[in-house]
Chain A
Amino acid sequence: MIEEGLPGAVVKLCRGLRERGLLVTTAHATDAVRALRELGLQSKSQVYFALRCVLTSAPEEFAIFDELFWQLFAVPKTAKNQRSEAPRDAPRDPEDRGEKGPASLSSFIDQAGGDGEPAEDEELPAASDQLSQGKKDFASFGDAELEEIERIARRLARKLAARPSRRWKAARRGARIDLRRTVRRSLGNGAEPLELCFRRKKPRKTRIVALCDVSGSMDLYSRFLLQFLYGLQGSVARVESFVFATDLRRITELLRERPYANALRGLSAQVTDWSGGTRIGACLAAFNADFEHLVDGRTVVVILSDGWDTGDPEQLGAELAVLKLRSRRVLWLNPLLGSPGYEPLTQGMQAALPHLSVFAPAHNLASLRALERHLLA
């Protein structure tokens, strides 16, 4: 019965997979039919393995594949039994890898028992009058999502470190022959260049200065963004990290602590105004005054904040203008930008916008991945 409608079923499966976002082309469909013809159809599990091998290309896709496959190929009554015939080799938690775009960070927090609704409904703590002394216990966060954040950060850092600059340096092997050194070396062999010297492009190191808002309104996001900074910092790229709420604090050294749990312990011990109010302008002024030596024409400044500012918007604009002049680019990542209907209308955000090279969301894994593009530009 299956034999008759096999090409039809395969095409249907392919269409279904394509609709769910898998990379399935006509060539795949042809290969799939060919594979089944060659293999014969002795058992359902064999058909399953063959089609999965041809039609998927990442373990995250197995769940979707399974679902559609068993819909199409199982006789409804025995579907359950057939399913048990299916392999148990699929990776444990395909969902964990965050390929599902819409899973926002706040929904992770939902599962952790937090309050899912981000800032907008939350009451905005007033600045300076109440430095909230509550020390957060970061060590209790979920892990699979955090791992993925770190993975993204590491990958990004590798890319940042490997970008070629316009300068050359000598290398054992490389793209071009270094004529000058080759000729010089050849003198010993009677001007016979037996040994070639090469040169290659020097890697250009992008420097990153990250300023992360840890005030109350950012509560739901800052822990994830910190993890991201932690991942970046553990790599080859040069990253300087700061947190701010009512005051600015340099945390580069604290994030150097390995493993992450230790870094978190240090952070919560030393940073005291977690979840207080925000004075972005004043904090940027402090940064410009004390740490201007960290920013030069190769530096990308990343500000992670929702722009809820209880300070002076004019000061914010002025300090950003200074930063913009000194740095290569200024990125502002705003977690709220991910929520539909959000418009950057707060006074702070309005003052900041003209001075930014990039204004982008940072509310889920997908947006962190997109960050790559901005940092490499």
Chain B
Amino acid sequence: MTEGIPQLLARLEREAYVADPAIATSVHLAMILEKPLLIEGPAGVGKTEIAKVLASMLQTELIRLQCYEGLDASTALYEWNYAKQLLHIRLQEKEGKSAAEAEAQIFSEPFLLKRPLLQAIAHAGRAPVLLVDEIDRSDEEFEAFLLEILSDFQVSVPELGTIKATQRPLVILTSNRSRELSDALRRRCLYLWIDHPSLEKELAIVRRKVPGAGEALTNQIVALAQHLRRLKLAKVPGVSETLDWAAALVALHASVLGPQLVAETLGCLIKDEGDLRKVRAEIEAGRLAGIGA
């Protein structure tokens, strides 16, 4: 790989992702060092988006594993298609084949249900992007299991033998820090922290993603979002909320923000009742950036 960070930044920009040097450097290193990249940060700052954008930029497939509590190997790796196997046995019985033959058939690839991890490993062609989303939601046993997969990218299926990745997938893990991840996992990964964007960056993002909002409206939207983040809210709005809101305002053909309009569309930005009350009080008191009461 000969290209450097500026080229990568430009390529991300073409995919409509506004990155900064920290993000570009981390992504670049993940690709050249072939190590998983662990991305942490508050909700809605574009952690998951990075994986999607990378897959599209590299013109490869995105394989996504959404983690949740109780996620286990059979959901993440592979499972045999029992129903298909049973039907097959029933059909075979009529043909009078031996048990050994039947067994060899039903434990072959057509009967294997590949779950995301195996899909990523067995993937043919260009190395895919494997997104392990919200790893902090899975339990610790699963984390240990994932570590094993990430260290050698091979899986052994007892009935089939070992399946080994021909090309290492580019692995992106995201976490909202709802629990501490194990040291072992942290040690194995490159690390990227994405915080809420600065004013300039958020302006750039909104301009890029919602070009329909004029310059004046964009400035107002972003100023207000930045202001809201400084209030102590239970659910701090992320960039994705800002974008939703901007899109909603464009759909309403708004060209300038007023207290009335803000109050009506606030639901795009604030998703908690207590927060709503707080922000409404701010609006009434005329304390919100750029919006007179």
Residues of chain A at the chain B interface (Cβ within 8 Å):
23, 25, 27-28, 31, 34-35, 38-40, 42, 45-46, 49-50, 52-54, 56-59, 62, 87-91, 143, 155, 158, 162, 173, 175, 192-196, 200, 258-259
Q: Which of B17-73 contact A (CB under 8 A)?
A: 20-22, 25-26, 28-29, 32-33, 35, 38, 40, 69-70, 72
> Which residues of A sit under 8 angstroms from B33, Cβ to Cβ?
31, 34-35, 38, 54
Closest A residue to B90 by CB, please name it.
Answer: A192
For the A-B complex with A35-B29, A89-B193, A89-B194 known, give 19 more contacts whose Cβ atoms are closer than 8 Å: A23-B186, A27-B187, A35-B32, A39-B25, A39-B28, A49-B26, A50-B29, A53-B22, A53-B25, A56-B191, A57-B186, A58-B191, A59-B40, A89-B20, A91-B195, A173-B74, A192-B90, A193-B86, A195-B83
> Which residues of A sit under 8 angstroms from B4, Cβ to Cβ?
39-40, 42
A113 to chain B, nearest CB (A): 21
Q: Which of B178-209 contact A (CB under 8 A)?
A: 178-180, 183, 186-187, 189-195, 198
In the complex, what distance in Å separates the CA atom of A196 from the CA atom of B84? 12
Please tell me if the beta carbons of A46 and B25 are within 8 angstroms of each other in the complex. Answer: yes
* CB-contact partner of A53 in B29, B74, B180, B274, under 8 A: B29
Please tell me if the beta carbons of B21 and A53 are within 8 angstroms of each other in the complex. Answer: no
* CB-contact partner of A143 in B179, B193, B232, B274, under 8 A: B232
Please tell me if the beta carbons of B38 and A57 are within 8 angstroms of each other in the complex. Answer: yes
Closest A residue to B274 by CB, please name it.
Answer: A259
> Which residues of B sit under 8 angstroms from A58, Cβ to Cβ?
40, 186, 191, 193
Closest B residue to A97 by CB, please name it.
Answer: B177
* CB-contact partner of A155 in B26, B75, B179, B194, under 8 A: B179
> Which residues of B sit under 8 angstroms from A193, Cβ to Cβ?
82, 86
25 contacts between A and B (CB under 8 A): A23-B187, A39-B29, A40-B4, A49-B22, A50-B29, A53-B25, A53-B29, A53-B190, A54-B33, A57-B187, A58-B40, A87-B21, A89-B195, A90-B195, A91-B195, A143-B232, A162-B139, A173-B75, A175-B72, A193-B86, A194-B83, A194-B87, A196-B82, A258-B274, A259-B274
Please tell me if the beta carbons of B69 and A54 are within 8 angstroms of each other in the complex. Answer: no
In the complex, what distance in Å separates the CA atom of A216 from the CA atom of B83? 68
In the complex, what distance in Å separates the CA atom of A10 from the CA atom of B35? 19
A372 to chain B, nearest CB (A): 11
Which of B1, B90, B195 neighbours the largest number of chain A CB atoms within 10 Å of its CB? B195
Given contacts A50-B29, A57-B187, A194-B86, contact A87 B22 (CB under 8 A): yes
Residues of chain B at the chain A interface (Cβ within 8 Å):
1, 4-5, 20-22, 25-26, 28-29, 32-33, 35, 38, 40, 69-70, 72, 74-75, 82-83, 86-87, 90, 139, 178-180, 183, 186-187, 189-195, 198, 232, 234, 274
> Which residues of A sit under 8 angstroms from B25, Cβ to Cβ?
39, 46, 49-50, 53
Please tell me if the beta carbons of B29 and A91 are within 8 angstroms of each other in the complex. Answer: no
List the 6 closest pairs (A to B, CB-CB), nearest first.
A57-B186, A49-B25, A53-B26, A59-B193, A57-B191, A38-B32
Please tell me if the beta carbons of A39 and B5 are within 8 angstroms of each other in the complex. Answer: yes
In the complex, what distance in Å separates the CA atom of A89 from the CA atom of B202? 13
> Which residues of B sit under 8 angstroms from A54, Cβ to Cβ?
29, 33, 190-191
A161 to chain B, nearest CB (A): 10
In the complex, what distance in Å separates the CA atom of A28 from the CA atom of B198? 30
A82 to chain B, nearest CB (A): 14
> Which residues of A sit under 8 angstroms from B26, Cβ to Cβ?
49, 53
Please tell me if the beta carbons of A87 and B274 are within 8 angstroms of each other in the complex. Answer: no
In the complex, what distance in Å separates the CA atom of A186 from the CA atom of B4? 60
In the complex, what distance in Å separates the CA atom of A28 from the CA atom of B186? 11
Closest A residue to B25 by CB, please name it.
Answer: A49
Closest A residue to B30 by CB, please name it.
Answer: A53
In the complex, what distance in Å separates the CA atom of A46 from the CA atom of B20? 11
Closest A residue to B42 by CB, please name it.
Answer: A91
In the complex, what distance in Å separates the CA atom of A41 from the CA atom of B20? 18
> Which residues of B sit under 8 angstroms from A42, Cβ to Cβ?
4
A349 to chain B, nearest CB (A): 33
Please tell me if the beta carbons of B178 and A155 are within 8 angstroms of each other in the complex. Answer: yes
Which of B70, B72, B90, B232 neighbours the largest number of chain A CB atoms within 10 Å of its CB? B70
> Which residues of B sit under 8 angstroms from A38, Cβ to Cβ?
1, 29, 32-33
In the complex, what distance in Å separates the CA atom of A194 from the CA atom of B56? 39
Closest B residue to A49 by CB, please name it.
Answer: B25
Please tell me if the beta carbons of B72 and A46 are within 8 angstroms of each other in the complex. Answer: no
In the complex, what distance in Å separates the CA atom of A158 from the CA atom of B178? 10
In the complex, what distance in Å separates the CA atom of A40 from the CA atom of B191? 20
Please tell me if the beta carbons of A53 and B186 are within 8 angstroms of each other in the complex. Answer: no
Given contacts A49-B22, A49-B25, A59-B40, contact A23 B191 (CB under 8 A): no
Closest B residue to A161 by CB, please name it.
Answer: B69
In the complex, what distance in Å separates the CA atom of A73 from the CA atom of B218? 40
> Which residues of B sit under 8 angstroms from A196, Cβ to Cβ?
82
Please tell me if the beta carbons of A192 and B274 are within 8 angstroms of each other in the complex. Answer: no
> Which residues of A sit under 8 angstroms from B192, Cβ to Cβ?
53
In the complex, what distance in Å separates the CA atom of A195 from the CA atom of B187? 42
In the complex, what distance in Å separates the CA atom of A57 from the CA atom of B40? 9
Please tell me if the beta carbons of A57 and B20 are within 8 angstroms of each other in the complex. Answer: no
In the complex, what distance in Å separates the CA atom of A40 from the CA atom of B2? 11
Which of B5, B139, B191, B193 neighbours the largest number of chain A CB atoms within 10 Å of its CB? B193
Closest B residue to A200 by CB, please name it.
Answer: B70
Please tell me if the beta carbons of A49 and B21 are within 8 angstroms of each other in the complex. Answer: yes
> Which residues of B sit under 8 angstroms from A31, Cβ to Cβ?
33, 35
Closest A residue to B140 by CB, please name it.
Answer: A159
> Which residues of B sit under 8 angstroms from A87, Cβ to Cβ?
20-22
Please tell me if the beta carbons of B22 and A192 are within 8 angstroms of each other in the complex. Answer: no
Please tell me if the beta carbons of A46 and B29 are within 8 angstroms of each other in the complex. Answer: no
> Which residues of A sit under 8 angstroms from B193, Cβ to Cβ?
58-59, 62, 89-91
Closest B residue to A25 by CB, please name it.
Answer: B187
In the complex, what distance in Å separates the CA atom of A158 from the CA atom of B136? 12
In the complex, what distance in Å separates the CA atom of A42 from the CA atom of B5? 10
B33 to chain A, nearest CB (A): 6
Please tell me if the beta carbons of A89 and B22 are within 8 angstroms of each other in the complex. Answer: yes
Closest A residue to B234 by CB, please name it.
Answer: A259
